[in-house]
Amino acid sequence: MALSYKVRRRCSLLILLVGLPSYVVACIGIISSFERPSILVELLVYVALGVLWALPFKFVFRGIGQADPDKEQ
């Protein structure tokens, strides 16, 4: 079942305003529970986690910045 443009737009807004900050807090909490690694390892972990969060939501964000394709001309 494909999501309409409006639903994808609302979902993307919810993900960015609620989900992403929650994910950041959770990642920082989990990383801080371990002994602090070197700065390069820590940077690589945060970059990997930064890319990893977006992969499951790729279909939601695709085409959101474009004009509404369902809208009449």
- What is the residue range of 50's domain? 23-61
Number of domains in the chain: 1
Residue 29: inside a domain = yes
Residue 50: inside a domain = yes
Question: What would the pLDDT profile of 26-63 be if each residue is shown by its tens digit?
Answer: 999 988 898 988 999 989 999 999 999 989 988 888 88
pLDDT bin (cut points 50, 70, 90) of residue 69 is confident
Residue 22, pLDDT above cutoff 80:
yes
Residue 46: inside a domain = yes
Residue 27: inside a domain = yes
Residue 71: inside a domain = no
Q: Which long-range contacts (CB under 8 A, 24 or more apart) does 6-14 make?
A: 6/68, 6/70, 8/60, 8/61, 8/63, 8/64, 9/64, 11/60, 12/57, 12/60, 12/61, 12/64
Task: Report pTM.
Answer: 0.77
* Per-residue pLDDT, 1: 63
* Per-residue pLDDT, 26: 93
Residue 11: inside a domain = no
* Per-residue pLDDT, 67: 82
